[in-house]
Amino acid sequence: MPDPFRLAGPLLRRLDPETAHGIALRALELGLAGRARRRERPSLALRRFGLDFPNPLGLAAGFDKDARAPGRALELGFGFVEVGTVTPLPQAGNPRPRMFRLPEEGAAINRLGFNNAGAERMARRLARRRPAGVLGVNIGMNATAGDAPADYRAAFARLATLADYVTVNVSSPNTPGLRDLQAPDNLRPVLGALAREREVLALGGGPPLILKLSPDMADGDAVLAATLAADEGFDGLAISNTTVERPDALAGAARREVGGLSGRPLFRRSTGMLRAVFRAQGGRLPLIGVGGVDSAGAAYEKIKAGASLVQFYTALIYRGPRLVTAMLDGLERRLAEDGFESVEQAVGVEA
């Protein structure tokens, strides 16, 4: 079957990035992005957080903020899809323009500011059309929230029964004050509120709770946050979100734009932080590796550094949806070449 991205990709990249993103998401909704051939990949299957993943590759939060097409995204070959970030109330986010491409670097900068239609709208959509596959929901607080724990608790309460897991985003650089929540005295009340809400909802051991951290934290602070998460009953960590740092060698006209940098320049920092947390906590919490993944080799390096699961999004802007299948094929080859029968055996071998 011809690859629609070979024609559409260059055309989309002539448009404003946010306009192009809207068109790409609509095309996915309509089933125009294609579908991967279904086949079993036993060496890539694994179980984490009490969930069975057919493979470790996931679509990162940010692409589908309002859960418009998670089922279609799963059809591309992903082992799981994470939607959001969603806030309790709808919000418009920051003024446009707020998305910028750095094609020379395989990177992007965004300062979207949690633009989304709100938790109620997402909940209604998921109640009508829940995809068959592992679905994560990424939650945040509204920019005008006066009580951060209450805001996170409200979003969780509305969406918890519709998600296979919930990621708590306290690490986006685009909501003023949000990353201050990563400080221990601020983080503990948020984590505790969510753990208690899970008990109130009588959900037993689920849905699993994942904490997403910033790559701009010191490794020691990330380890402390991981310890707090484990102590509060969280089930895993996602490392990492976008960065406000700008490497000296960063190229591209948009490199000085304010916002979170994603894509290839983030890979080394996010992977180093992942490795440090895995090594320090001895595998106590499973890790999701995010940041700069654009190939099977990059995904495999995250896994060997300690990631059980790997997410990406920015690479799809430049490589298109067939990247998913190419990465799955590449992961299978690398595991076989290294003598591993399962991706489980590769997790953390180079931590």
Helix %, strand %, coil % for the chain, to 5? 40, 15, 40
What confidence score (pLDDT) does residue 246 get? Answer: 94
Q: Are strands 209-213 and 236-239 parallel, antiparallel or unpaired?
A: parallel
The model's pTM: 0.96
What's the domain count of the chain? 1
Residue 107 lies in a domain: yes
Angle at 130 between CA 126 and CA 134, to 5 degrees: 115
Can you say whether residue 84 is alpha, beta or left, with left for phi > 0 and alpha for psi between -120 and 50 degrees? left
Is 8 part of any domain? Answer: no
Catalytic residues: 172
pLDDT for the residue numbered 202:
66
Using left for φ > 0, alpha for ψ between -120 and 50, and beta otherwise, residue 140 falls in: beta
Mean pLDDT for back-to-back runs of 10 residues, the chain (351 residues) = 65 88 94 87 96 98 98 97 98 97 95 98 96 96 94 96 96 91 94 92 78 97 96 96 93 92 97 98 94 98 98 95 96 98 98 92
Say how many C-beta atoms besides its own lie within 10 A of residue 111's C-beta.
22
Let me know if residue 32 belongs to a domain.
Answer: no
315-319 long-range contacts (CB < 8 A, ≥24 apart) are: 315/106, 315/263, 316/63, 317/13, 317/17, 317/101, 317/108, 318/9, 318/103, 318/106, 318/294, 319/294
| Domain annotation covers residue 270 | yes
Residue 2 has a pLDDT of 57
Cis preceding-peptide flag for 97 (omega within 30 of 0): yes
Q: Is 324 helix (H, G, I), strand (E, B) or coil?
A: helix
Domain span including residue 45: 37-346
Residue 21 lies in a domain: no
Distance CA(126)–CA(105), nearest Å, equals 35
**Residue 7 domain flag:** no
What CATH number corresponds to the domain at position 179? Answer: 3.20.20.70
Task: Please choose, from the candidates 155, 253, 164, 179, the residue with its C-alpha nearest in 3D space to the C-alpha of residue 210.
Answer: 164
- Residue 162 in any domain: the answer is yes
171 near 214, Cβ under 8 Å?
Answer: yes
- Cβ density class 2-22: b for 16+ within 10 Å, e for less: eeebeebbeebeeeebbebbe
Structure token digits, residue 298: 């990059």
Domain-embedded: residue 20: no
Q: How far apart are CA 98 and CA 56, in angstroms?
A: 30
